[in-house]
Amino acid sequence: MSDLLQTLRLLVVSPDKDLSQWLISDLGALEEKDGTHTVEFSGTRFEMVLECDPTKLSSPSADILLGLIRFVDGVSLHLLGELFKVATAEKSCPAAVLVYRKELEGDFKMSCPFCGQKLWVRDADQDKRGRCPNCHKGFTLPGQEDHVAKALHLPPGISVRKAVQGDTSTLGAHLKQLLRVRADEINLRMAGDKTGLSSRQTMNVNLETGLIPPQGH
Ligand SMILES: [Zn+2]
């Protein structure tokens, strides 16, 4: 291993321990020491820490946060949401959620937006009109990414991505994207330092008169 590489701490949170192990083997971890797995990729050394228990995530420090999920059922999404809440509570860092599945796992469970009936939806049917067999109401079928983003109430800065187990080039592309986001944020911060923006106090926002119409759901 070269010492010229930049080293970043990659915190991987997942309700599913096996999934984190898949990621490690797909990324070709070089070594493991005290629960930290080292991966070298794209001129960067990642020190990966895996966590699947929100109560153990008391004060995580991370340069990049990655949430992993395989089956986007309610329980898994709830657990991932809890992990994200703890992981992002203290400081913000570039983050993404990865739906990380086996090749043929192309469907997911969601609740009917009208009656709550649990429904299987195929990822290939994204954007088609579907009808709930229980309440007979129709709605546009979401893709997995949209479904996960909505269920986790993710802010716009956190993207949801998909990769199939064993597809290292897609995984690599996602990691590269997160590295770019991080580089952009550091550049922005440095630019802010130059203009003195970052040293200014936070101000109360002024309210304009007139009400903004509520957004439709
Ligand atoms: Zn329904």
Q: Give the least confident one: 139-143, 150-154, 204-208.
A: 204-208
Mean per-residue pLDDT, 28-56: 85
- Amino acid at position 106, single letter: G
Cα–ligand 1 centroid distance for 110 (angstroms): 11
Cα–ligand 1 centroid distance for 112 (angstroms): 5
pLDDT at residue 135 tops 90 = yes
Cα–ligand 1 centroid distance for 215 (angstroms): 23
pLDDT at residue 49 tops 80 = yes
pLDDT of residue 217: 52
Local confidence band at 1 (pLDDT 50, 70, 90 cut-offs): very low
Cα–ligand 1 centroid distance for 141 (angstroms): 13
Q: Give the least confident one: 4-13, 124-133, 164-173.
A: 4-13
pLDDT of residue 32: 86
Question: Distance (Å, rounded) from C-alpha 178 to C-alpha 95?
Answer: 7
Sequence-separated (6 or more) residues with CB below 8 Å from residue 168: 26, 27, 28
